Structure 1
């Protein structure tokens, strides 16, 4: 698929670190102009410098997707600069790292998670619409999670928001079909992002044999695994696919465990 995104404009929310960074780099390497939207200025500036050093076409825009006014301004900027948008990747997410028992759950914390993980993608798609309609083959990709289908204890906001995003995916696919906009989702499992974090938070991953054996493929996932699927789903090669989700978890969610 070398060069298939040449002349394409791709916007990735939460694109400065982790899976988002993996996708940003992958799309840019295939010729796209990539707009990284992120609320972390440190990570954004660092990523911008790194990818520009590789001669990739990228730009960074500061945006908190929980705030509608910032989303609106983001797409106004994109419109002025690029006039169109070919691919929107709703990747921003929060809330997985802070599990709390139900009796200690604060409604404000729950609302914050839903604002970023669920309302954010909806509003980003809303404000991106006029630009997506100017594309020859527009696509929206939502990054959900296997937590939409299974849970560990006390991850209410994260699980609920990712489950909602799965439902929002097929709702948007049907609602935007008349505008020729395809909408799909990727649900990642355990993806190791340690080497893909900003410098101040980066770490060298250490996975035990048991960690690896949880996955039928024999290893923990990497951002590149998600990026490769994103390249396909957002391309015209996937033109007959919409309203679907692709679970990428090394087979972890289909493995029965009796002990």
Structure 2
């Protein structure tokens, strides 16, 4: 997607230092947006800025743990002081490891932490980002959910519940913020390979078997670019008639019947 829509627009991406978030940051920066990434991982954030600067792309990094209300409030204050308003808020930050082990042995502190970041943190960003979104002529919120909101492997209940909450939050916010001219949508990614999009200390070379690829109707595992292209569309004026929707981007994996 290449047009002039994002010139002078400000886009905030939570969890933007690695993985899907970094892929989106790169895509929006290439379109000329003022990109702000926030992440709790300072090492990853600084590396992300360095990586994008090598491509002559401009991006700001602000460290923030979105589960902490006071940190989110400060984050939005800093964005407002520099850019005054916010055209797009992309809620991507989340604890990615979905597996928790046996329910009976689960520590509630682990469950609470996942919900605090993945769901409550998104609510906090929407709450404190709202004044900046209201200043824009047309604002957009994009929540990054997961196909695990609709289907599960064993012992992934906290992650699945948090992503299911994001799905419900999406349509609720779309109706609640309609009078503010703020559209709210979600993307539910499937298997997205992020090995090359991690900080240097955690990067790995992706290796996918034939079976891995053939689980997908398109014959391959997804990449951050796949999600980034859709996010560019959903946050732009080209998607002006789309709100309250969740788009699954999984290469057809969740609609393909697989028999063992």
**TM-score, normalising length: structure 2:** 0.98
Could you list the runs of 4 or more consecutive aligned residues of structure 1 that deviate by over 3 angstroms after TM superposition? none
Provide the residue aligned with 1:199 in structure 2: 200
CA distance in 2, matches of 1:240, 1:255: 29
- Unpaired runs of 5+ in structure 2? none
Matching of residue 7 in structure 1 with residue 8 in structure 2:
yes
Contact in 1 for aligned 2:191/2:250 (Cα 8 Å): yes
Report matched runs for 1:52-201 at 5 Å. Answer: 52-201=53-202
Matched residues in 2 for 1:95 and 1:77: separation? 27
C-alpha separation in 2, matches of 1:201 and 1:98: 19
* Per-residue Cα deviation, 1:187-230 (whole angstroms, up to 9, x for no partner): 00000000000000000000000000000100000000000000
Instruction: For residue 3 of structure 1, report the CA deviation from its aligned partner.
Output: 3.1
Larger mean CA deviation between 51-60 and 23-32 belongs to 51-60
Unaligned residue ranges in structure 1 (runs of 5+): none
Q: What secondary structure, in the 3-state scheme, does the structure 1 residue paired with 2:49 have? A: helix
How far is 1:102 from its partner? 0.4
1:99–1:153 contact (8 Å) kept in structure 2: no
Distance, in Å, in 2 between the alignment partners of 1:64 and 1:188 is 23
Corresponding residue for residue 32 of structure 1: 33
Deviations 1:140-197 (A, max 9, x none): 0000000000000101110000000000000000000010000000000000000000
Give secondary structure in 1 for the equivalent of 2:70: helix
How far off is 1:17 after superposition? 0.2
SS of aligned partner of 2:135: coil
Distance in 2 between residues matched to 1:124 and 1:107, nearest whole Å: 24
Shift of 1:92: 0.3
CA distance in structure 2 between the partners assigned to 1:6 and 1:115 by the alignment: 34
Matched, 1:247 2:248: yes
3-state DSSP of counterpart to 2:104: helix
1:97: how far off? 4.7
Alpha-carbon offset, residue 256 of structure 1: 1.2
SS in 2 for 1:133: helix
What secondary structure sits across from 2:24 in the alignment?
helix
CA RMSD of aligned residues (A): 0.8
Give the Cα separation in 1 of the matches to 2:96 and 2:234: 26
TM-score for both structures, normalised by structure 1? 0.98
